[in-house]
Structure 1
Amino acid sequence: MKPFLRVLALRLRNSWKFMLLVAVLATGSAALCQKYDLLRMSDAELGAYDQGLTFFTGGHPRSRDVVIVGIDDKTLQGIRDNEQYVRNYGVYPYSRNLWARVFEHLVDQGARAIVFDGVMDERGTDESNDLALAQVLEERGIPLTLGFNINAGQPALPRVEPVNRLPQVPTPRPAPAPEASPASAEGEDFVEAAPTGVATGDNFDDFVETEGAPPLTREEVARALAFPVHHSGLTLPTLEQTSSDDGSRLMRHPVQPLPGLVRTTPGFGLVVLEEDEDGRLRRTRFAYSDGANTYATLSLAAAADILGAERVELTPGKLKLGSRELPINPDGSAELDFGGAWKDRFEALSVYAVLEDWARREEHRTKGTAYVPAIPEGTFRNKVVLVGGLSLGTSDVKATPFQSDSPGLVKHAVMLEALLSGGFITEAPFWASLLLTFGVALFSVMLITLMRAPALEIAWPLLLFFGLFLITGLFLEHGRVHVLSAMPIYAGEVASLSAIAFNHMFANRERERLRQAFNRFLDKTLVDQLVEQQKLPSLEGETREITAFFSDIRGFSSFSERFKDDPKALVALLNRYLTRVSSVLMAHGACLDKYIGDAVVCLFGAPLDMPDHAVRACHAALAVRDEVDALRAELQKEGLPDVYTRIGLNSAEMFVGNFGSEHLLDYTAIGDGMNLASRLEGANKAYGSVIMIGPRTYELAREHIEARELDRVKVAGKEEAVTVYELLARAGELPAAKRTTVERYHRALALYREARFEEAALVLEEALAADAEDGPSGALLARCRRYALNPPPLPFDGVASLEK
């Protein structure tokens, strides 16, 4: 482990400036993309945020504060199918007296407050129904917060000093007249009983508010709609919008609700779309301004009334509502904590069910009949009831991170829950996301640059995405903090790609260094093959099995003596010889190790991996023999000295790498295997052979060559005898006459090892009679005759010594 750590430390020392620079540049580019929405960074961030929100923050418990009463499909169909209901309330959008019944019944059932997600700013076809709603709100003190709209075509309201009109405690419901008996939803005809003082049908003049009521002023409307919002250190968003005609900015102003409702409704809240660019609801702003007054959103105005707050205080990072304080974003916004699908979070009932329950209670109160509730007792007690559209037919459908077809009132439900007993999701400070981005970029570039693992280069970009998804998701789940994830992912990917490019450049430099190091020793095509290997050779040294090649010119000392007066001619001839031999060797995949005068040393199987290194070496040696024979013939014609060459080959585990001093390094191999190869080359002289190979070389290449066993020998410093062979030809290319000579030699060698020297000599004489130039037969014959005259000590093992 320590060498690995030392390698990492060296890489860190050599590359820390690069890694730091990449991390800074990646962080800076990611921050610019985030700030100016380059490369659609905002879309990527919203997508990552939605994934984290749905994966980590779902499963919140059902709300204990908010109940939804909605106009669902059951309401639309139920009222449409009930003739009496149609006469009383019409079809959707229903007349206002329906809401009078609903609001009144919700209060009777103990509702803490009612929030109506809608606006009432257009007079109905029967204004008595509008006045009936206003009458109920005034007489019963309904704790209602009603929405109001904005429009660019509205005149501006005057600036006023806003005051929050906190709702009064609802008055007890007066006992109904016994003769007024509504019918249940089963279809029994009835004429709906109106509350005391409420006009019905044509009795519009009976509504007391019309008698002598002063006209509604613009100041009165402004005081009803404006809300006291203190925003120290914050600039509230305006109600401007871009004109679709000329692109100019137009200020939108509140649309006045029905006059009767302005005076009788205790609370009003702004209903404004707060969708992101992709149409999804994710966040909210709590208050807006039209340049003259401040207006609270519907949910905030309702929560302020419920909590008894006379005003709202907004400061960077904090929302104060009476005694309740909530963390928000520094710009005064906050992300909505949906907590799951809306049907799992909130209990939802049908408006039709409320009407049915009201009708049954009225029948019970007036007729004394048995009461079978349509809604369980206590459903609305101490709850905030949010009323609005649930059906697609109400055209109030919005997309959230959890669902693409949620009703729009879900936003208000989530906000009310957060304002009353929960909280919002806030964005982490930008510096924190920037710090995370830098950390991710630095870690990415360090990891890939230091490890230099191809598998990691592929896996890390994927792991980076899932890792940041997990980290930011845990912040969302446990801290309700939105840490930017697209920006660090972008920086991490850029840093990773930069590190990968650096690694490849480094690898290219390593390849070029290897190319330069081995161009002198290997054939160009083999150099290309070497540098393209996935595993580059270790120049520091490694142990591997290779085949060593040694060759030498017979009698080179006498050879060079002839050129003592013309050394340039000697050099020219020697260069000619070495070039011819080296070209053949390199063509067969050899790595030229060195020249020692006329001697040539090369390696097969290093640095390039060669599973067939022994076969290649044998074939190369045969090709060198043929090339030297051709050169000898040329030199003979030119009157130049002979270059008869002997060759030794040996295969073994050797240590290969760069060896030398700080002044000169050489790629070579060391070990007993190299020594044996050198000794085999010299041993050719004693046996009259040209190419001698060791036992491991013969074992690896025997299927591809023709060879004869020469002898069993002991090498200097070794007690164990080894068998050596003469390489004769490629497999299947040995002439028949030579094959006969080899067979006779093998018979004679067997007799020799049995100490039957005279018999062996007879066989060898027969072989030489047929092949007088066979050197090994002549050498063994001389030894047999010597031992026949002077027998060796017994027992005789037949092992020769290569001490010299």
Structure 2
Amino acid sequence: MKPFLRVQALRLRNSWKFMLLAAVLSTAGAALCQKYDLLRMSDAELGAYDQGLTFFTRGHPRSKDVVIVGIDDKTLQGIRDNETYVRNYGVYPYSRNLWARIFEHLVDEGARAIVFDGVMDERGTDESNDLALAQVLEERGIPLTLGFSITAGQPALPRVEPVNRLPHPPAPPPAPVPTPDVRPAVAEGADFVEAVPTGGVAGDDFAELEAPPPLKPEEVARALAFPVHHPGLSLPSLEQNPGDMGSRLMRHPVPPLPDLVRSAPGFGLVVLEEDEDGRLRRTRFAYSDGANTYATLSLAAAADILGAGHVELTPGRLKLGSRELPINPDGSAELDFGGSWKERFEALSVYAVLEDWARRQEHETKGTPYVPVIPEGTFRGKVVLVGGLAVGTGDVKATPFQSDSPGLVKHAVMLEALLSGGFITQAPFWASLLLTFLVALFSVALITLAREPLLELAWPLLLFFGFFLVTGLFLEHGRVHLLSAMPIYAGEIASLSAVAFNHVFANRERERLRQAFNRFLDKTLVDQLVEQQKLPSLEGETREITAFFSDIRGFSSFSERFKDDPKALVALLNRYLTRVSSVLMAHGACLDKYIGDAVVCLFGAPLDMPDHAVRACHAALAVRAEVDALRAELQKEGLPDVYTRIGLNSAEMFVGNFGSEHLLDYTAIGDGMNLASRLEGANKAYGTVIMIGPRTYEMARGHIEARELDRVKVAGKEEAVTVYELLARAGELPAARRATVERYHQALALYRETRFDEAARVLEEALAADPEDGPSRALLARCRRYALNPPSLPFDGVASLEK
């Protein structure tokens, strides 16, 4: 395992209980804030939801089912500037005969259904216009769904058994009759003549229509109530809280005009469904006043369009005829706007429809060329939503995408979802709670394990400003709304807990240990030592380690070249020591000391390393490669060579702080250290670079390529030890070099059998293939000497090392 991962594993082992507790408490705190709206969580939730919605769900394709026809500024200005239109329809709000013409023309152009986002519950100044609209609706069978409102001062309607009056296919328009005596009125700004046709409706054409008899309350209730089956679900009430009065008032439907109640096929409830901040985000589908159930305008229209005799609402499911849609368990749903309303829906002006109607009437009555204002097929097979678009209509609402959207955008989005799309649904609370716990756990783990001051500052900010990206992905790919504020709050609380833990409870011991070992060990290894929470004994302990000694060949002669420039010598030596030390520390070494040009370090102390021998061998090979690179650089610069010899030895040694009360040094003492030093010097006799002791070879043999050099006795010791030359990492020895090593081993075996001449011949073959092989040259010299002057018997083949 790499040192960094080892550090993290140790930190996790030491802190997992704290991290789990902090995550649980943070999750519980955030859940309480969610339940009781503490710390303004509802505002934060709405803000995060809006960010995710607008960033990820924008770009839905334009609706193929819904077209908007709106009272825009062009309509208000166009009708106001045309005397004929003003005379026939007045100024906004227009007389009902205008809508008779608009609805009739839309049906003639192939509209599948018409939804009117407005109410008609007050009689106009000319009741004949109201009757004219009712007559057109009845005679032509206009598939209209008309809105109705509710108020607290309205009498309650009696309980009835509701039935959905499905609209019949519209009747074809009557054949036009030429009326050459009609005096045309030229529309200002238009290139056609508007005339009142015999088959149309104008204000004066219905002056003699008789008003129908008054409606009974049961008739109104049967027209407005809608069959909504809601097993297992309580419908929202039409109660209204009047503010500071404390009591709640029940609101009841305001009936449309009696003649419209009888003639319009469908009615839907128009009710404000804004959130507390005034934005439209979600909807309910049906309401109850305690006696009857009432479908919202969009739902009632969709039921008529799909031919559904009733609507079924169950927790999490809306069934509309053959169509089923997922909704929230409480019977609500979030609106999938998919972008700004102008991007989602084709919108035309009421004025354009009126002009198109006038041109068609002129063409049919006078036979003049017909140049349509609106392209043919625009309304064919579409649901046409009619309502206010201009600010002057007073129907402006805010959505997550726009602060000044027309109110009818809600109905457009709902119709699109009910007919061919879908809604955004709330994820189960347990899923949001699980996400909250995971965010809290990740936050506390990240800061506790990383322990980086910059991260402690950056992560809470990143969490606050960027978490909407996570919920946005669920909105985009699953149309699921995971709560966003609750995970953010939990993550913030968990992050603060982790910061407090790091700085209040954990830093004291770490800093003391870091100060003691920072100059000996690589920073990552110091962190690992800290996280072990098992401090090394600075007073001293016995443990098996691997000692490393290195020295520059001929340093005395080396330094003489700089006797007149000692600063240059120091600079070169510092350069050398820095390069070598960096390699050693990267492999886990603890720097012991510098003795002039010599480097002494330890593997396996103070940090426990079961693989200390392997690390030491790999470090020695890396040092050799680094020194070779440095030698090439120095040669180009005309500076002295820094040929380096290395000795490694593994043994049990006594390690700890040694020195006096004035100066302490963490080091190791024992015979193992002495042998490592002797092996470094013994390289000279064999022409080798790295010599290792027997215990080092035994522990690392599976990870290295080495050759047995000899059996030697070091100064002051009677026991002989086998020494080895370290050549390469396992599997990285070139074939030619391997052949040299095999010849050497063959010759060494012959040498120990006192077959010196045979050994010499093998060594000569080895040198012929590899003239630079130092051990072969050294052993060949010894074989030739013994061939001339045989040693005394019995021969043990042991060489003595004086240094």
User: Once structures 1 and 2 are overlaid, which stretch shifts more, 91-100 or 5-14?
Assistant: 5-14
State how far apart, in whole Å, the 1-side matches of 2:339 and 2:78 are.
30
* SS of equivalent to 1:422: coil
State how far apart, in whole Å, the 1-side matches of 2:110 and 2:185 are.
23
Residue 431 of structure 2 is matched in structure 1 by 432
CA contact (8 A) 2:187 2:193 kept: no
CA contact (8 A) 1:182 1:362 kept: no
* SS of equivalent to 1:668: strand
Residue 192 of structure 1 is matched in structure 2 by 196
* SS of equivalent to 1:125: coil
* SS of equivalent to 1:201: helix
Q: Which amino acid aligns with 2:277?
A: D
State how far apart, in whole Å, the 1-side matches of 2:362 and 2:539 are.
112
Residue 799 of structure 1 is matched in structure 2 by none
Q: Which amino acid aligns with 2:204?
A: G
Structure 2: 5+ residue stretches without partners: 531-537, 541-569, 571-593, 609-651, 658-663, 675-713, 716-801
CA contact (8 A) 2:10 2:528 kept: no
State how far apart, in whole Å, the 2-side matches of 1:467 and 1:663 are.
54
State how far apart, in whole Å, the 2-side matches of 1:352 and 1:539 are.
78
State how far apart, in whole Å, the 2-side matches of 1:227 and 1:412 are.
18
CA contact (8 A) 2:223 2:261 kept: yes
CA RMSD, Structure 1 to Structure 2 (Å): 3.5
Q: Which amino acid aligns with 1:411?
A: K
State how far apart, in whole Å, the 1-side matches of 2:118 and 2:153 are.
20
State how far apart, in whole Å, the 1-side matches of 2:313 and 2:249 are.
26
Q: Could you tell me the TM-score, scaled by structure 1's length?
A: 0.65
1:393-792 alignment to 2 at 5 Å? 393-465=392-464, 468-510=467-509, 513=512, 666=657, 668-670=665-667
* SS of equivalent to 2:333: strand
CA contact (8 A) 1:437 1:487 kept: yes
Q: Could you tell me the TM-score, scaled by structure 2's length?
A: 0.65
1:92-131 alignment to 2 at 5 Å? 92-131=92-131
Residue 349 of structure 1 is matched in structure 2 by 348
Residue 21 of structure 1 is matched in structure 2 by 21
- Once the two structures are TM-superposed, the CA of residue 536 in structure 1 deviates from its matched residue by 11
With over 3 angstroms needed to count, the CA separation of the structure-2 counterparts of 1:8 and 1:86, relative to structure 1, is same
Residue 234 of structure 2 is matched in structure 1 by 235
Residue 380 of structure 1 is matched in structure 2 by 379
| Matching residue within 200, 204, 223 for 1:201 | 204
Deviations 1:292-323 (A, max 9, x none): 11100000000000000010000000000000
Question: 2:56 matched to 1:59?
Answer: no
Residue 621 of structure 2 is matched in structure 1 by none
Structure 1: 5+ residue stretches without partners: 519-526, 542-591, 595-613, 615-648, 677-715, 718-802
- Once the two structures are TM-superposed, the CA of residue 119 in structure 1 deviates from its matched residue by 0.3
* SS of equivalent to 2:204: coil
* SS of equivalent to 2:467: helix
CA contact (8 A) 1:64 1:383 kept: yes
Q: Which amino acid aligns with 1:436?
A: L
With over 3 angstroms needed to count, the CA separation of the structure-2 counterparts of 1:125 and 1:257, relative to structure 1, is same
Q: Which amino acid aligns with 1:15?
A: S
Residue 157 of structure 1 is matched in structure 2 by 157
State how far apart, in whole Å, the 1-side matches of 2:185 and 2:275 are.
47
CA contact (8 A) 1:19 1:445 kept: yes
State how far apart, in whole Å, the 2-side matches of 1:295 and 1:57 are.
31
- Once the two structures are TM-superposed, the CA of residue 501 in structure 1 deviates from its matched residue by 1.4
State how far apart, in whole Å, the 2-side matches of 1:169 and 1:393 are.
35
State how far apart, in whole Å, the 2-side matches of 1:539 and 1:284 are.
56
With over 3 angstroms needed to count, the CA separation of the structure-2 counterparts of 1:369 and 1:217, relative to structure 1, is same
With over 3 angstroms needed to count, the CA separation of the structure-2 counterparts of 1:184 and 1:334, relative to structure 1, is farther
CA contact (8 A) 2:131 2:206 kept: no
- Once the two structures are TM-superposed, the CA of residue 449 in structure 1 deviates from its matched residue by 1.5
With over 3 angstroms needed to count, the CA separation of the structure-2 counterparts of 1:171 and 1:181, relative to structure 1, is farther
- Once the two structures are TM-superposed, the CA of residue 214 in structure 1 deviates from its matched residue by 3.9
State how far apart, in whole Å, the 1-side matches of 2:193 and 2:375 are.
26
Deviations 1:546-604 (A, max 9, x none): xxxxxxxxxxxxxxxxxxxxxxxxxxxxxxxxxxxxxxxxxxxxxx999xxxxxxxxxx
Deviations 1:139-177 (A, max 9, x none): 000000000010001011111111001111111110233
With over 3 angstroms needed to count, the CA separation of the structure-2 counterparts of 1:362 and 1:512, relative to structure 1, is closer
* SS of equivalent to 2:313: strand
1:76-91 alignment to 2 at 5 Å? 76-91=76-91
Residues matched between the structures, number? 561
With over 3 angstroms needed to count, the CA separation of the structure-2 counterparts of 1:182 and 1:288, relative to structure 1, is farther
With over 3 angstroms needed to count, the CA separation of the structure-2 counterparts of 1:316 and 1:262, relative to structure 1, is same
State how far apart, in whole Å, the 1-side matches of 2:347 and 2:486 are.
39
With over 3 angstroms needed to count, the CA separation of the structure-2 counterparts of 1:372 and 1:455, relative to structure 1, is same
Q: Which amino acid aligns with 1:201?
A: D
- Once the two structures are TM-superposed, the CA of residue 22 in structure 1 deviates from its matched residue by 0.7
CA contact (8 A) 2:287 2:295 kept: yes
Q: Which amino acid aligns with 1:499?
A: A
Q: Which amino acid aligns with 2:196?
A: E
State how far apart, in whole Å, the 1-side matches of 2:137 and 2:10 are.
80
State how far apart, in whole Å, the 2-side matches of 1:488 and 1:670 are.
51
State how far apart, in whole Å, the 1-side matches of 2:266 and 2:465 are.
47
Q: Which amino acid aligns with 1:269?
A: G
Structure (1 or 2) with the larger CA radius of gyration = 1
State how far apart, in whole Å, the 2-side matches of 1:334 and 1:663 are.
74
Deviations 1:378-435 (A, max 9, x none): 1100100000000011111011111111100000000000000000011111111111
CA contact (8 A) 2:49 2:468 kept: no
